[in-house]
Structure 1
């Protein structure tokens, strides 16, 4: 498959985009798998952006569009977000007007001024099921995932259901974890990148003492386990199982992989001299461990295979994997039984 970008998946398809060129004025988004190109959505090239979500429990992708002139000579005055079913691009809601793109923290959209500002404008939060704008009250929307949002400030926040607006839990409800300073207060920092799926990592910090990072269920506020060390990479999320993989650096410089799942807690923990996660999906984690490509069982952490192999950048729940090739903008597809070809 020849696309300009393709490193995400939703439902049964990979997501790719093709920029304008060769007589084409549109920015096009594609959903494709080993069997076919399932759909294509054309948008204005001035507004690049997608968010993978769920609408009423079904995989969906939210795509942005704008009214800017395609020749680049006019300003963007209106940006809209529309939700499409991931498998066939049926419109599920929208278009809903938003101030600008998402920074990757779910369905939170923010105007992005060209000049640097000390206080960026607050984002607009949308409900995953309806696309309606959600009022968050005092503070701002901090993070959203599949209809649950964290809103407030870095040190005082609540989780809410974006459909009903009901508060699910708040920072005041959380108990100080074992090992934290008696004066430690909880903080949201987004340390493991813009997306951590259905979990949120919070730090208990007293200023002078070393903070204690803890993983919590975003939906319930349940404590899932501590995450010692410094974040060493963005979180990797397997939406099919709800598993979130965090990579941290220990004091001795080693890399530690921890797999969490809401409702289950810490699934496993593995330490390596070096570790770099490539992708997660189809029941496995794909990573470079101590310089060797490896496939790790997502449930147990057991290493299933190692060798001199290229690692996939994205994997569907059925195990179909997307690999980079030596040719720019061209990716190869492989199904569990063997290669599916490339284009």
Structure 2
């Protein structure tokens, strides 16, 4: 029986993955900022493993388990705890979680809804850990990386991305060749630096609707592409920070970089913690000097920040700079408190902020700034630490390097 076109594509990709991985070309998909179970996998093992890039519908509930002697946050008391095969914390949008796991020398991405039903899965080489979620109007998309061994001018293979409906796994567009791995935030792709701590190569940002390049640093030496978040694209050009709707010719807003305290510094953007569909992004020249900028208006909600996270249930931002500060979605400061030690934002959700200090977690109410309790006092087992919390209280939890999903009531 003759092979169909999809079968031929699968066979070609399997053969390409084996050749590329055996040749040590793990950088074709991965990047220094990517993280995942494939980074330390031996290429010899990966070279012998075939993979099927086509999403397969599952529609299967995840198996239920218990926490054993682990201490669950009280906000998840009464929720069912489900096992996952994820090897990295999931991303979430529109009530669907997605993350990869190492399944015998290949990555398997699994999409799971907020009721704990595994919707679909798709396989990739271990090197292709980079992925993102985005939105095209009313459709939420999963963007997965792959390798095309037949790309012109790339005899050893070139990175590509393909968009799938996050709820169904149905292909929407792609594969589209990109200049390098996923760098983020969102639909930003660039060649990795030649040295460990060097500058990225020229970056592009893709239109979520079509996969077409909407901004390309190779076309304009003065352009700096900062990233994309669910249809909003951020760029620095002509001494302004500008926000575009993906695919639009004119910006929705523009702010002078000097008004934000910057002049010629190279800028980077990040969505912060619990970044399902946040309303602002951190932008700045360094990890210790960032502004929190509203995606719809360009309003600066906070400055001189290190980290931030948004509570999806209240919309409140919790920011870390010299002080701990709460900011409502309109930019009104709710509180400010001094920090006794250096902390980092672990996760924000359910009106609580989990901050990691030198040797313990510190819990704060994001609306009042008061210290709070997330665990029953006197517990002795390992802590189940949330890695993502939705506005409805569904959470991904990490217990001793294993990831679980807490759903239902």
Q: Normalising to structure 1: TM-score of the pair?
A: 0.71
Residue 298 (structure 2) aligned to one of 221, 224, 241? 221
Name the SS of the counterpart of 2:270 in structure 1.
coil
Aligned to 1:129: 209
Residue 61 (structure 1) aligned to one of 135, 142, 148? 142
Between the aligned partners of 1:78 and 1:124, the Cα distance in structure 2 is 15
Residue 17 (structure 1) aligned to one of 85, 100, 118? 100
Residue 194 (structure 1) aligned to one of 259, 262, 270? 270
Structure of greater relative contact order (alpha carbons < 8 Å, 6+ residues apart): 2
Aligned to 1:319: 393
Give structure 1 stretches of 5+ with no counterpart.
205-210, 338-343
Q: Tell me the CA shift for residue 242 of structure 1.
A: 5.6
Give structure 2 stretches of 5+ with no counterpart.
1-83, 273-277, 378-382
Residue 228 (structure 2) aligned to one of 132, 144, 152? 144
Q: Tell me the CA shift for residue 90 of structure 1.
A: 3.0
Residue 82 (structure 1) aligned to one of 150, 159, 162? 162
Alignment check: 8 A CA contact 1:12 1:316 kept? yes
Between the aligned partners of 1:298 and 1:336, the Cα distance in structure 2 is 24
Residue 348 (structure 2) aligned to one of 264, 267, 280? 280
Quick check: 97-106 or 298-307, which moved more? Answer: 298-307
Aligned to 2:19: none
Alignment check: 8 A CA contact 1:134 1:165 kept? no
Q: Tell me the CA shift for residue 277 of structure 1.
A: 2.7
Q: Tell me the CA shift for residue 29 of structure 1.
A: 0.6
Q: Normalising to structure 2: TM-score of the pair?
A: 0.61
Change (3 A) 1:31 1:290: same
Q: Tell me the CA shift for residue 324 of structure 1.
A: 1.7
Alignment check: 8 A CA contact 1:282 1:320 kept? no
Change (3 A) 1:260 1:125: farther
Quick check: 43-52 or 236-245, which moved more? Answer: 236-245
Change (3 A) 1:168 1:146: same
Backbone CA RMSD of aligned residues: 3.8
Q: How does 1:296-335 map to 2 (within 5 A)?
A: 296-299=364-367, 301=369, 305-307=373-375, 308=377, 310-326=384-400, 328=401, 330-335=402-407
Following TM superposition, the consecutive aligned residue runs of length 4 or more in structure 1 with deviations greater than 6 angstroms are 289-292
Aligned to 2:183: 103
Between the aligned partners of 1:5 and 1:163, the Cα distance in structure 2 is 31
More strand by share: 1
Change (3 A) 1:203 1:151: closer
Between the aligned partners of 2:337 and 2:171, the Cα distance in structure 1 is 42
Q: Tell me the CA shift for residue 40 of structure 1.
A: 0.7
Q: Tell me the CA shift for residue 146 of structure 1.
A: 1.8
Alignment check: 8 A CA contact 1:11 1:316 kept? no
Alignment check: 8 A CA contact 1:105 1:143 kept? yes
Q: Tell me the CA shift for residue 57 of structure 1.
A: 3.9
More helix by share: 2
Between the aligned partners of 1:58 and 1:284, the Cα distance in structure 2 is 30
- Alignment size in residue pairs: 304
Aligned to 1:236: 309
Q: Tell me the CA shift for residue 317 of structure 1.
A: 2.8
